[in-house]
């Protein structure tokens, strides 16, 4: 089974690193570069997993996107891994409050990313 993954990240170099890391797996990868397009793309492609940056330009940050996904009955099954450069307890609590399934603090290693992604998609039927 091919799992759909949506990367929502505004920094092209990080997006490229994530894509290159995941290209070795059996994943169908989609990308968005701000909160609004991330939310629209989630509705359009219905990914199994979303890698979601916290700090993004535009009207919606990662926490708001996560919250909207988890409140939408059609989308709440999507596993969300928040990506952030800020790993303070308060940031983790905000992610948890928004409904995030996991957190990866930048900079993360490709191995850590793969482990986390494979662990999450293995829970998806």
CATH code: domain of residue 69: 3.40.50.2300
How far does the chain reach from its first CA to its final CA, in angstroms? 9
Structural domain includes residue 21: no
CA atoms of 19 and 42, how far apart (whole Å)? 17
pLDDT averaged over consecutive 10-residue blocks of the chain (125 residues)? 95 94 92 97 98 94 97 97 87 92 92 94 79
Structural domain includes residue 116: no
Number of structural domains (the chain) is 1
What is the extent of the structural domain holding 44?
1-14+34-50+62-99
Structural domain includes residue 124: no
Using a 10 angstrom Cβ sphere, with 0-12 exposed, 13-18 middle and 19 or more buried, the burial of residue 22 is buried
Q: Number of helices (H) and strands (E) in the chain: give both, helices first.
A: 5, 5
Confidence (pLDDT) at 125 = 58
Confidence (pLDDT) at 81 = 97
Give pTM, 2 decimals: 0.94
């Amino acid at each position: 089974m091919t799992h759909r993954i949506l990367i929502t990240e505004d920094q092209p170099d990080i997006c490229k690193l994530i894509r290159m890391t995941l290209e070795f797996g059996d994943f169908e990868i989609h990308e968005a570069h701000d909160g609004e397009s991330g939310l629209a793309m989630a509705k359009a492609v219905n990914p199994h997993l979303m890698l979601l940056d916290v700090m993004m330009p535009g009207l919606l940050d990662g926490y708001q996107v996560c919250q909207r996904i988890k409140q939408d009955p059609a989308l709440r099954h999507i596993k969300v891994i928040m990506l952030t450069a800020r790993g303070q307890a308060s940031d983790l609590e905000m992610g948890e409050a928004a409904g995030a399934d996991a957190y990866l603090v930048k900079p993360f290693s490709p191995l850590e990313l793969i482990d986390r992604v494979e662990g999450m998609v293995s829970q998806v039927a």
